[in-house]
Structure 1
Amino acid sequence: LIILLGTGLRISEFCGLTDRDIDFENRTINVDHQLQYFGKKSYRIETPKTDNGIRKIPMSDRVLEALQRVLQNRKSNDFTVDGYTGFLFLTRSGTPKICTSYDAMFRRLVEKYNKSHEESLPAITTPHTLRHTFCTKMANAGMNPKALQYLMGHANITMTLNYYAHATFDSAQAEFFRLAA
């Protein structure tokens, strides 16, 4: 969750991450492919959704630490998909985790949370929800929209601003008073 929430990666990009994509020295994640699954153990590596999807994502301290833990705890594996090996997120049987694995995990987490909390989470909370949350958080913190577009891998700034960067009353009020001062 920390990695998804701290990077804004698409879940297919996240599933496709390999140890070669992580540059701890420069604190970047290289995104130039995504993992797709077509059933019956049929995996395929594809290019990102758009040309702008090929990018480098900076790592915060929390993301860096989370990735270090993943690599420390991961069992060695030589599972190969279209020449890519060293996948970071594996099932117990050693195959790469896929998008639907995370969708199911999120469903279970939301159900468990909602049973024990008065204020419930939306029933449809997915890994993509964390992508929206990342974008909204960065936009509300004042990130340059073009920089945010780059991080999200969007070809069009309209996608970033209209569909991902959600304004709230609090953010609008804070911006209003910042400019009115």
Structure 2
Amino acid sequence: MSAQPADASAPTDAPTLVLVRGDITDQDADVLVNAANSSLLGGGGVDGAIHRRGGKAILDDCRRLRAGHYGRGLPTGQAVATTAGDLAARWVVHTVGPVYSRTEDRSALLASCYRESLRVADELGAGSVAFPAISTGVYGWPMDDGARIAVETVRAARPASVREVRFVLFDAPAYAAFEVALG
């Protein structure tokens, strides 16, 4: 796993942005962001990995959310927190990314995933947040554009408590795309 401080030129009220190549479930951060599906009940990719590694407590919290306010699932672009279960994090913030479309601009929904996740993390008092590259896997978002949207959105956010944002990228091409987006 490699890490690179990536945003030394950011204004002092903005979180420091860091790139990490590795597995998001290995991160010791206050919040891990889960690229969830709307059911909140686990799935493939990052979602499945977080649920497997975090254990039953995450699924139990997600079931409580589904039994309450999110009976129809979590809408795309929104975010909600649960326990982190057996993960090193304190919380998991679940967000549902949009499926990429060549005919409809859904970039505002993707940006909302990052913005809303930071808002929820800030409400929790989190100091550090680890993000995957939301929607760039099975949802088909082009990695370079997904990286650009992620970086621009996080740079524009001004959470009060979040001091560090890590983009945790699973492979070399994703890491390279985020390096370019950071400039």
- Normalised by the length of structure 2, the TM-score is 0.27
Query: Which has a greater percent of strand?
Result: 2
Of Structure 1 and Structure 2, the greater helix share is in: 1
Higher relative CO (Cα under 8 Å, sequence separation at least 6) belongs to: 2
